[in-house]
């Protein structure tokens, strides 16, 4: 965590955590990753339990978003924590 906060690496992509779903106050939920000298962080949902069709659809969405990001366009299906129903249940 300290390495990423200090921006000592360019970025990190993570999809498995000790506790899932991440708690509402988790440092990983920081919306400022990639700003103010911090490393960029990409968090993805834990996907072990899904069926093949769901995984394929998710992978297509990820590739599409990478392509949009690469040309500077707005991403699809961006998760906004405050608008999530999980916000009600997180402690």
Q: Cβ(37)–Cβ(7) under 8 Å? A: yes
The pLDDT averaged over each successive group of 10 residues in the chain (91 residues) is 87 80 81 84 73 86 90 79 46 43
The tally of domains found in the chain comes to 1
Q: How far apart are CA 26 and CA 14, in angstroms?
A: 14
Q: What is the pLDDT of residue 89?
A: 44
- Total-model pTM: 0.50
Q: Which domain holds residue 27?
A: 2-89
Q: What is the pLDDT of residue 88?
A: 41
Q: What is the pLDDT of residue 39?
A: 86
Q: How far apart are CA 38 and CA 76, in angstroms?
A: 24
Helix, strand, or coil here: 45? coil
Helix, strand, or coil here: 11? strand
């Amino acid at each position: 965590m300290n390495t990423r906060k200090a921006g000592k690496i360019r970025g990190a992509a993570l999809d498995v955590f000790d506790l899932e779903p991440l708690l509402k106050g988790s440092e990983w939920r920081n919306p400022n990753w990639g700003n103010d000298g911090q490393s960029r962080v990409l968090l993805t949902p834990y996907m072990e339990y899904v069926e093949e069709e769901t995984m394929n659809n998710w992978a297509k969405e990820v590739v599409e978003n990478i392509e949009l990001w690469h040309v500077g366009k707005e991403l699809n299906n961006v998760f906004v924590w405050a608008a999530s129903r999980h916000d009600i249940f997180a402690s």
